[in-house]
Amino acid sequence: MKTIKLGKSGLEAPAIAVGCMRINGLEKANARRFIQTCIDLGANFFDHADIYGGGACETMFAEAIGMNSLVRENVILQSKCGIRPGAAFDFSKEHILASVDGILKRLKTEWLDVLLLHRPDALVEPEEVAEAFDALHNAGKVRNFGVSNQNPAQIQLLQKYMRTPLVVNQLQLSVANANMISQGLHVNMLDDAAVNRDGGVLDFCRLNEITIQAWSPFQYGFFEGVFLGDKKFPKLNAKIDEIAERCGVSNTTIAIAWILRHPAHIQPVIGSMNETRIKDCVKATEITLTRDEWYAIYMAAGNVLP
């Protein structure tokens, strides 16, 4: 498994992260086998959130992996907080501190490698977030911090008050949902692809050494469906299948290789609980698409060049 530097953290992380949003849907024995498969493949970076399964996913993970001090040293754990079901978002110091204590208890660990704020909070008080992060860092409960779905100005506002750098921004990205890339190609154009919907977050993160983690790397729209094998994307699937056959890999592998080819060193978060699919995703770290292949896939998805 190839590794990347996770932002400015100094942490060497696998190029592929494993999302655990659905792990509570597995029987414990199957969850144990799935986690071990990931670790054997070198995919030992596991992404959680306190709202996944209402906390049940973190509990299942810890039980399935048999969490102890030795096991803990061999995995990288990331979780997210800030979404309160039924009450929207809460980045208050009180909520962040309580959330992390709950996460640590469920994961049966004394620390998180990374904590992310889960989406933006319109009522955020950045000084209060910084106080919470300082308290967690000083107590040894969280080693690194990041955000999800935030634009450059939101990140800068938080960073102004923080003592440690934000190292991750988790954003939706796939070849069929690639506006953060498209807008950079359509600068000064009048078409829809030129609309700057995120403040140039891709270039901002590269400039500030913030690792982008791509969630839903197989989805189009906002959880509208997977583009692989979908009749809505005949040209895209034909092109991916053509390249996959030439490379002797699956279409899943090529879809992830497309993201990995970008020089921003984006880390895809794979949410599948299927062992074969995880293996196919990891295989993508061994493939480097040519420039022609990358653009051919991009355009086959319906993206246009100016």
Domains of the chain by residue range: 3-233+263-287
Question: What is the average pLDDT across 211-231?
Answer: 95
Instruction: Give DSSP secondary structure letters for 230-244.
Output: -TT-HHHHHHHHHHH
Residue 87 pLDDT class (50, 70, 90 cuts): confident
52 noted as active-site residue: yes
Question: Are 267 and 186 spatial neighbours (Cβ–Cβ below 8 Å)?
Answer: no
pLDDT band at 6 (very low <50, low <70, confident <90, very high): very high
Residue 86 — pLDDT band, cuts 50, 70, 90?
confident
Q: Tokens 């949003």, residue?
A: 21
User: Phi/psi class of residue 100: alpha, beta or left (left: φ > 0; alpha: ψ in -120 to 50)?
Assistant: alpha
Percent of the chain with pLDDT over 70: 100
Mean pLDDT of 126-144: 98
Q: With 90 as the cut, is the pLDDT of residue 277 above it?
A: yes
Q: Encode pLDDT of 153-179 as tens digits.
A: 999 999 999 999 999 999 999 999 999
Average pLDDT, the chain: 97
- Look at residue 136 in the predicted model and tell me its pLDDT: 98
Residue for token pair 């414990």: 28
- Classify each residue of 18-30 as buried b or exposed e, where b means 16 or more C-beta atoms within 10 Å of its C-beta: bbbbebbebeeee
Give me the pLDDT at residue 298, please: 98
Determine the Cα–Cα distance for residues 243 and 195; give it in Å rounded to an integer: 31
pLDDT digits (tens, 9 = 90+) for 19-65: 999 999 999 999 999 999 999 999 999 999 999 999 999 999 999 99
Return the pLDDT at 287. 97
* Residue whose token pair is 């969490």: 67
Q: Please state, in angstroms and rounded to a whole number, the distance separating the CA atoms of residues 219 and 221.
A: 7
Q: How far apart are the first and last CA of the chain?
A: 36
Please state, for a pLDDT cut of 90, what percent of the chain lies above it: 98
pLDDT in tens, 105-126: 999 999 999 999 999 999 999 9
Contact 76, 142 (CB under 8 A): no
Q: Which of 52, 161, 220, 295 is catalytic?
A: 52
Q: Is CATH 1.10.10.10 the classification given to domain 3-233+263-287? A: no
Q: Is the pLDDT of residue 85 over 90?
A: no
Res 223: pLDDT: 83
